[in-house]
Structure 1
Amino acid sequence: MEMEIVMARFNKILAVIDPAALEQKSLQRAILLAHKTGASITAFLTIYDFSYELTTMLSVDERETMRQAVVDDRTDWLESIIQPLCDGAISIDIKVVWHNRPFESILFEVVENNYDIIVKGTKQHDTLKSVIFTPTDWHLLRKSPVPVLLVKDHDWPEDGNIIAAVDAGTEDDEHQNLNVKMTHMALKFSELLNGHVHLVNSYPGTPVNIAIEIPEFDPVSYTEAVKKHHTDSMHAHAKQFPIDVNHLYIREGLPENVIPDVANEIDAELVIIGTVGRTGITAALIGNTAEHVIDKLDCDVLALKPDGFECPIKR
């Protein structure tokens, strides 16, 4: 019996503006989504001038006047960018915030005003022709309670391919629920973009140390058993949704290799992944598999948290 699909809703989009970019990729993606969904957009810019720290000899009023002048200047700049993009069919508001930690200001805005998704552009390295992720990107991936869409340079054509990178072999309830959430989201975007949903699952190879230390260990039988478990689990998961069985990919290897390989093969326009939101020393030492995957992808990435995740950033 097929599961009833509860589609995600996008009513409010927060498009993060990059003050150093000539082309605002986040705003372009947000406008495309708004045209498809009817959502409103807030173009959100965080600014901070560190010379402000050197004005302690000024009065409180003088400091506030200086700060407001910078905010007004950036607001006028943002209005000049948005005006040519407004066609009357969508609503775009402007919000410029003075804050020295951009990711905190973004998360405050999301939580306080109930946004449904954050859209943020990535930076392009001029010499290496690769994407550079900023500390703000990583903080948002780990701490945002709502989906984060990181925009690269890949187009979003009609009839394109969308990947949900599931962990079908897991027996953990949180990860299973996240698999369902990612698949729902992939179906939502396939509906919006008239695209095709693909599910990708990687599974580990035979541990070399076991094969060496235990002579009677049969690595071939072990690998076949692991593959069968992940294949059966993937098919059981996919049966809950209207997904073509030919669009299931179950491959041996690390997620950071398997997912980008499949994305390149089918020229995916969007990859949806789950993030567990590690913080502190654990994140610094271990890192996050999702982040390693994102580094290797050329297309847009949508990162989701498990249900019940709470933003660790509080005012």
Structure 2
Amino acid sequence: MDEYKNILVVADINNTEQSALARAFQIVKGLPTPPPITFFLSIYDFSYDMTSMLSSDERDAMRRGVIQQREEWMNKVAAPYLTKGVKFKVKVVWHHRPFEAIIAEVFASNHDLLLKATRKHDTLESVFFTPTDWHLLRKSPCPVLLVKNHDWPANGSIVASVHVGSESEAHVSLNHYMTEQAKKFAKPLKAEVYLANSYPVTPANITVELPEFDPTSYTDAVRGFHLTAMKKLRQDYGIDEEHTRVLEGLPEDVIPKIAKEVDAGLVILGTTGRTGLSAVFIGNTAENVIDKINCDILALKPHGYISPLDPNN
């Protein structure tokens, strides 16, 4: 499978350490043809645009000055991570909505992987996601890798959270996509790939409504269906049975448990890209899982996904 051809890394303006940039260079290290890396930042200061004491040309000059200062800072903090043979450039834009600026850059330069740093919450032992993170997870047309600020565990693992219980074409395609991406990342990160899947708990009240219902047989049948589907998926990619997990429960409980068990450095999730009120009040299953995982997250959209920010849409 082809490697990534154009990587975009969002600068972490609040830190000298750039964990997303470090991860990007870790990913491309050793590849036959390392893809170029763009180090990107969106900045904005309301006061520069609203002051009436400056002319339009003066405001433009001040913005250029701020952009130049940020470019110099980004080149400085990026210096420790640079690797010979990898094309690297810095880009700073003036935009009042960072997530829109980032996605516009993805479209403008055809980036096929986006990396952004997250941070571990001090008390909840989870990864803290900003509003920009959530917008990118929902609306980015390319895979989004959210990176936490420390190294991968030695001999760590990659967990692909597949959904083998569905026979819909969209889910089947997304399962293959997640597995392919897991194997793609495994080589440069020297990690083992695990496929993880959850299946629903039998409703407790169903025996009251249907006295003849046998919950044990039903649970066995559901588990058997998931195991059979998982076997087919893992065999398609040469993954052995010991590297698969099929457990009963909700994904937001099962996937974090498995990630901890195998010492995962990366969990791969499929997202639907839901927006609007449904995203606010319902939330994606992937987003419920993300709240409980303390490791890097790679979020993938199904094939054919069209971002609401696509300039050609």
Q: What CA distance in whole angstroms lies between the structure 1 residues aligned with 2:298 and 2:90?
A: 23
Alignment correspondent of 2:9: 15
Q: Give the 3 Å change call, closer, same or farther, for CA 284–176 of structure 1 in structure 2.
A: same
Deviation, structure 1 residue 299: 1.4
Q: Residue 36 of structure 1: SS of its match in structure 2? A: coil
Percent same amino acid among aligned pairs?
A: 52
Asked whether the 8 Å contact 1:154–1:299 carries over to 2, the reply is no
Among candidates 160, 164, 179, match of residue 160 of structure 2: 164
Among candidates 20, 28, 44, match of residue 22 of structure 2: 28
Deviation, structure 1 residue 13: 0.8
Asked whether the 8 Å contact 1:153–1:300 carries over to 2, the reply is no
Q: Give the 3 Å change call, closer, same or farther, for CA 205–129 of structure 1 in structure 2.
A: closer
Alignment correspondent of 1:177: 173
Structure 2, unpaired ranges of 5+: none
- AA of the residue aligned to 2:60: E
Alignment correspondent of 1:4: none
Deviation, structure 1 residue 154: 5.0
Q: What CA distance in whole angstroms lies between the structure 2 residues aligned with 1:30 and 1:302?
A: 13
> What does 1:158-307 align with in structure 2 at a 5 Å threshold?
159-307=155-303
Structure 1, unpaired ranges of 5+: 1-6
- 2:90 is the counterpart of 1:114: no
- AA of the residue aligned to 1:77: W
Alignment correspondent of 1:3: none
- AA of the residue aligned to 2:281: L
Among candidates 85, 90, 93, match of residue 89 of structure 2: 93
- AA of the residue aligned to 1:302: L
Cα deviation 1:226-245 (Å, max 9, x = unaligned): 11111111112212111011
> What does 1:135-150 align with in structure 2 at a 5 Å threshold?
135-150=131-146
Q: Is 266-275 or 157-166 further displaced after alignment?
A: 157-166
Q: What CA distance in whole angstroms lies between the structure 1 residues aligned with 2:95 and 2:163?
A: 38
Among candidates 71, 74, 79, match of residue 75 of structure 1: 71
Cα deviation 1:26-82 (Å, max 9, x = unaligned): 111111112233121100011111222431442211111121111111111111112
Among candidates 24, 34, 43, match of residue 47 of structure 1: 43
Asked whether the 8 Å contact 1:161–1:198 carries over to 2, the reply is yes
Q: Give the 3 Å change call, closer, same or farther, for CA 129–306 of structure 1 in structure 2.
A: closer
TM-score (norm: length of structure 2): 0.94
Deviation, structure 1 residue 311: 1.9
Q: What CA distance in whole angstroms lies between the structure 1 residues aligned with 2:214 and 2:27?
A: 51
Cα deviation 1:174-220 (Å, max 9, x = unaligned): 01000001111111112223321110000000123323322222221
Deviation, structure 1 residue 274: 0.6
Q: Give the 3 Å change call, closer, same or farther, for CA 264–158 of structure 1 in structure 2.
A: closer
Asked whether the 8 Å contact 2:201–2:249 carries over to 1, the reply is yes
Deviation, structure 1 residue 307: 1.1
Q: What CA distance in whole angstroms lies between the structure 2 residues aligned with 1:114 and 1:120?
A: 17
Q: What CA distance in whole angstroms lies between the structure 2 residues aligned with 1:174 and 1:31?
A: 32
Residues matched between the structures, number: 309
Deviation, structure 1 residue 22: 2.8
- AA of the residue aligned to 2:232: A
Q: What CA distance in whole angstroms lies between the structure 1 residues aligned with 2:111 and 2:89?
A: 13
Q: Is 25-34 or 156-165 further displaced after alignment?
A: 156-165
- 2:62 is the counterpart of 1:66: yes
Q: What CA distance in whole angstroms lies between the structure 2 residues aligned with 1:63 and 1:12?
A: 33
Deviation, structure 1 residue 84: 3.4
- AA of the residue aligned to 1:150: L
TM-score (norm: length of structure 1): 0.93
